[in-house]
Amino acid sequence: MTSEPMRTQAMDTLRVVCYLNQFFGQLGGEDKAGVGPQVVTGAVGPARAVEQALGAAGTVVATVICGDNYVAEHVERAVGELLALVAAQRPNLVVAGPAFLAGRYGVACGALCAAVQAELKIPAVTGMHAENPGVDLYRRHVYIAQTGAEAARMLEEVRRLVALGLKLVRGESIGAPAQEGYFARGVTHNTVASETGAERAVAMLLDKLAGRAFASEVPLPKFPNVPAPRLIKTLEGATIALVTDGGWVPRGNPDGIEALNATRYGAYSIEGKADLDAAQYDNVHRGYDTTYVKQDPHRLVPVDVARELEQQGAIGKLHETVYSTVGVATTLAHSARMGREIAEKLRAAGVDAVILTST
């Protein structure tokens, strides 16, 4: 029901490692921003606030410090070196920052936390101001507590950070972002609300009708607006390709395109074909009634009409490869990747325009 605990084990006192930049690690200001990774036993600077917030629950066994520029200039190498220093301490939890509005520091905290979780399989938390570039870069992978722009309320903010970290270590359920004070990671989890969906819907409508504030339970999508490119050539001189997400495949589905939640697409030649023989094709889409497109695949992939237009000279040429996938319950990430890959191949083949048939 909740996010899976990264590690749950019986522990009396947790071993915590803190990460700080050169400034908060008390090595110096901008003049020391180039210093490499180093480790100090126990808590330094803000790590003392972590120690205090932990109370009896844990101890800061070490503070790892690194200059902002050192990380910014060689991220991979720096994170690798920091990871080795952290791992040597055998921690149960890593607390990075808080980085407030410091950009390089925020990115370093995010990168280290993400690496700690992926490589060491232990939870890591950090804290930043909403405008820190590290938030957008790492919020999906790392719990980032919201902080002010500056270290004005350090102890209070560190307490929230530590509370979040302790919940993760213990495998306890994490509440809503607004309630726990972290940046939404963009993942969804089923929870139990105080009213039924029906009650909430009627209450929300009454609020909307009365002009009162209401909170939608689904964030509105922020899809970028893609302007349709202009065709520079005339159609008579253009090469046109057919692409579909309607599940058209050669019989036997040679590429194993999934019936839903697709991660694959196929490229199928229509060279030498004036039209499509229904007996040679199938349809694996599980999101609509495919009876009619199985009867006659041209209803989805109009090779017959496109060939006629090609013969008449209405279009310059029909591209000899048709790209096909299944567009049902496909994740946004896979859709974007497949679209990008297909577009690159079409462009490399000199295709000028695409007829995309969807369902």
Partner 1 sequence: VTDQQAENTGALAVIDMSGPAAALSEFGRTHNLVISAWPAPGVGRSEYLAAVRLAGLKAAVHLAQAARGAEAERVEVFELPSHARVPAALAHLPRVAYVFQIHSHQRPTGVDEGILYGDPIRRMLPTVIHPNEILDGAVVRGFMGRNATTWAFQNHPLIRALYTRHGRALWFAGVVVTVAQATEPERVRSAFVAAGLVAHVLGADGAVLTKIGGGAPHVDMAQAAAQCEALGVKTTLIVEDMSTDGSADGMLLFNFPGMDALVNVGSGQEPFVFPPMERVVGADDQAARLRGEMRATYGTLCGAIEQVGATKVMAQVQ
Nearer to partner 1, 292 or 314 (CB): 292
Binding partner 1 (rule: CB under 8 A), the pick from 9, 56, 121, 223 is: 223
Binding partner 1 (rule: CB under 8 A), the pick from 7, 48, 170, 185 is: 185
* Among candidate residues 59, 54, 67, the one with its CA nearest the CA of residue 90: 59
CA 273 to CA 302: how far, in whole Å?
12
CA 250 to CA 33: how far, in whole Å?
60
Q: How many residues bind to partner 1 according to rule CB under 8 A?
A: 50
Which window, 157-165, 283-291, 316-324, 343-351, contacts partner 1 (CB under 8 A)? 283-291
Could you report how far apart the first and last alpha carbons of the chain are, in Å?
A: 34
Residue in the block written with tokens 């690798």: 80
Binding partner 1 (rule: CB under 8 A), the pick from 10, 12, 76, 188 is: 188
Nearest-approach distance from CB 325 to partner 1, in angstroms: 15
Binding partner 1 (rule: CB under 8 A), the pick from 130, 176, 267, 349 is: 176
Exposure string of 250-285, with b = 16+ CB inside 10 Å and e = fewer, is eeebeeebbeeebeebbebebeeeebbeeeebbbbb
- Residue 155 near partner 1 by CB under 8 A: no
CA 355 to CA 150: how far, in whole Å?
53
CA 185 to CA 221: how far, in whole Å?
15
CA 301 to CA 248: how far, in whole Å?
8
- Residue 227 near partner 1 by CB under 8 A: no
- Residue 84 near partner 1 by CB under 8 A: no
- Residue 312 near partner 1 by CB under 8 A: no
**Binding to partner 1 in span 156-175, by CB under 8 A:** 174
Alpha-carbon distances of 211 from 17, 199, 208, 216, rounded to whole Å: 50, 18, 5, 14
- Residue 190 near partner 1 by CB under 8 A: yes
- DSSP SS3 for 93: strand
- Residue 73 near partner 1 by CB under 8 A: no
- Residue 299 near partner 1 by CB under 8 A: no
Residues in contact with partner 1, shown as a per-residue x/- string from 229 to 268 under the rule CB under 8 A: -------------------------------xx-------
Nearest-approach distance from CB 178 to partner 1, in angstroms: 10
Exposure string of 95-131, with b = 16+ CB inside 10 Å and e = fewer, is bbbbbbbbbbbbbbbbbbbbbbbeebebbbbbbbbee
Nearer to partner 1, 193 or 279 (CB): 193
Which window, 68-76, 79-87, 111-119, 325-333, contacts partner 1 (CB under 8 A)? 325-333
Alpha-carbon distances of 215 from 185, 309, 313, rounded to whole Å: 18, 52, 55
Nearer to partner 1, 209 or 232 (CB): 209
Which window, 12-20, 117-125, 176-184, 347-355, contacts partner 1 (CB under 8 A)? 176-184
H/E element, 350: none
Angle, helices 75-88/103-115, rounded to nearest 10 degrees: 60
- Residue 36 near partner 1 by CB under 8 A: no
Binding partner 1 (rule: CB under 8 A), the pick from 77, 90, 208, 347 is: 208
Nearer to partner 1, 87 or 204 (CB): 204
Nearer to partner 1, 50 or 135 (CB): 135
Interface ranges with partner 1 (CB under 8 A): 1, 3, 174, 176-177, 184-202, 204-206, 208-210, 214, 216-221, 223, 260-261, 287-289, 291, 328-333
